[in-house]
Homo-oligomer: A and B are copies of this chain.
């Protein structure tokens, strides 16, 4: 199993949902970047469970500790190790699924691949692993801050309810992390409805990167969109990604889709941005835009047909404490992975 991501700015995560701890080592952080535990804690708090009625009521403090790489408040260039102890162990909750494969989860595939699994809370396959990514992303964001590169990730849709307007200042003011103040109540209502039915609902997360410099991305296999796609599809529950017009481009003509260039003073700009800020795998300097398909949470408190580890038909009912919709808490994860990809591309780009 490989647990690293990135070429220069590389993160390596570890940890199981119900083991002693999870964490991450971040390699090749440039020296002399100011970083405090509270910077990282801020983002972890945005991802942590129990924030509102639309998320799981589990209580995990997700307190981060910086173990290395920071000296007198600044990075030294050495690897930054971040540790998050697991505290809300209710392993007994999982005893009844010890020998059963939950539909939609990785229980079966892990067992088939490794012949052993830590079944408690999904073990390594738990969404809890993403807390380590968020912690690493907080470090990446400090580097982007110094370059004035800004990432906005937000819930664009819950089920068939889609944001119409985009008020970025609203994102952290509502539990859905959506951008449309007019539509947030309908989204909350939708989630509460499926929750009442012991069910869950999917959604769409959109990300816009602004002030991205031209030139990020390696234009053959490590195109910026390919790296972002890799990063996003490595987040559990993401079923699709599209850039700019995305699947709508399949129905467009070239004369519609091509973004025409013009000079804005000394800067090359495009009059439209159907491409989503990337041409030939390299950032154009326009906003980078992509959307993610988020599947409905697999853990639902309904009786579902399944099989046992020893090969018998059976049923399971997942009774733990789960998010009825993944989007609100996944937004910081998407933002973190975007930051990690951008910093990696930035460091490689300066490498000319």
A residues near B (Cβ < 8 Å) are 1-5, 7-8, 10, 12-16, 19-23, 25, 27-28, 30-32, 65-69, 71, 74, 76-81, 83, 101, 103-106, 108-110, 112-118, 123-125, 129, 157, 159-160, 194, 197, 199-204, 214-215, 218-223, 225-234, 236, 239-263, 266, 268, 270-271, 275-276, 279-285, 293-300, 302, 304-307, 311-313, 347-352
Contacts and interface: CB of A to CB of B under 8 A. Distances in A.
Given A32-B116, A77-B114, A305-B261, A23 B67 contact: yes
A247 B293 contact: yes
Contact of A27 (B3, B117, B200, B348): B3
Nearest to A257: B296
A299 to B, nearest CB: 8
A30 B352 contact: yes
19 contacts: A1-B78, A4-B4, A4-B10, A15-B81, A20-B66, A21-B83, A32-B115, A78-B124, A103-B261, A104-B259, A106-B280, A203-B250, A225-B233, A239-B244, A239-B249, A249-B295, A252-B296, A254-B300, A347-B351
Contacts of A251: 159-160, 202
Contacts of A234: 220-223, 226, 281
A115 B71 CA distance: 12
Number of copies: 4
Given A3-B27, A76-B118, 4 more contacts: A1-B219, A14-B68, A20-B68, A268-B311
B5 A81 contact: no
A28 B16 contact: no
B260 A304 contact: yes
Contact of A25 (B25, B71, B256, B350): B25
B252 A77 contact: no
Contacts of A262: 305-307, 313
Most chain B beta-carbon neighbours within 10 Å: one of A77, A276, A298:
A77
Given A203-B250, A214-B113, A1 B220 contact: yes
B124 A219 contact: yes
A21 B281 CA distance: 22
Contacts of A228: 233
Contact of A351 (B8, B83, B222, B305): B8
